[in-house]
Structure 1
Amino acid sequence: MYRITKEFHFSASHQLHGLPPEHQCARLHGHNYIVVVELTAADLNPHGFVRDYLDLAELKRYIDDELDHRHLNDVLGDDCVTAERMAKHFYDWCRARWPEVTAVKVSETPKTWAEYRP
């Protein structure tokens, strides 16, 4: 099995509603997010790729136009925009375009990652 990944970066704010008021994530705050998309294939295409990385520019445009420097609760219409839910959001968005997508990871901090892999 062949596996490729591509990493994307953006900055945005969010707030996790429903947590105790003293919880730091209950307050409005922001992160420098990293999104990693994984694609796999048993065989390479005629050009020797799982998928051409240039095809993934559509995800960069989506991130830049819709998510970067935005308040994610407003954009995603969710009161609880966690890294876990974002990983699933990105997985669904990517999988609808590229059938080779097998997982998406989202990082909010250098030491934390959430992954969605069906």
Structure 2
Amino acid sequence: MLRITKDFQFSASHRLDHLPDDHQCARLHGHNYTVQLELSVQSRDDLTRAGFVRDYGDLADFKKWLDSELDHRHLNDVISGRNPSAENLAMWIYELWSERFSEISAVRVSETPKTWAEYRP
């Protein structure tokens, strides 16, 4: 298997439901998020003619979407029907973008430099 990854950043606020009132994540707060897209193919026969899993330049539309839809937004208002945890955000992004980029094999979301959530179907 051959894999590539690319990191993207955005800043946003959220508040998580279904937590005790004194839990810090139940209060309105924000993060400087990192989203990592992982794209993969099974073998070298699946690479593009140039030898890529996918050209990194093809991911520019994802960055534009991230900037317009998530950056400096309140995620509770953007991700309808889901508690905007890092886990749910990773699944939501995968569901939205896997049709456009069939090579997406995982989406990772970081809220802090030490924490990551990963969705890998």
TM-score norm. by structure 1 comes to: 0.96
Question: Which residue matches 1:16?
Answer: 16
Amino acid at match of 1:80: N
1:16–1:79 contact (8 Å) kept in structure 2: no
Question: Which residue matches 1:25?
Answer: 25
2:15–2:26 contact (8 Å) kept in structure 1: yes
Unaligned 5+ residue runs, structure 2? none
Take 2:16 and 2:111, find their aligned partners in 1: how far apart are those partners? 13
- Whether 1:81 aligns to 2:84 is yes
- Alignment map for 1:85-104 (pairs within 5 Å): 85-104=88-107
Question: Which residue matches 2:39?
Answer: 39
Deviation per residue, 1:4-45 (Å, 9 max, x gap) = 001000000000012111000000000000000000112311
Question: Which residue matches 1:51?
Answer: 54
Unaligned 5+ residue runs, structure 1? none
Runs of 4+ in 1 over 6 A off after TM superposition: none
Deviation per residue, 1:73-92 (Å, 9 max, x gap) = 00112451000000101111
Q: How many residues get paired?
A: 118
What SS does the aligned partner of 2:73 have?
A: coil
Question: Which residue matches 1:113?
Answer: 116
2:82–2:88 contact (8 Å) kept in structure 1: no
Take 1:61 and 1:96, find their aligned partners in 2: how far apart are those partners? 17
What SS does the aligned partner of 1:33 have?
A: strand
TM-score norm. by structure 2 comes to: 0.94
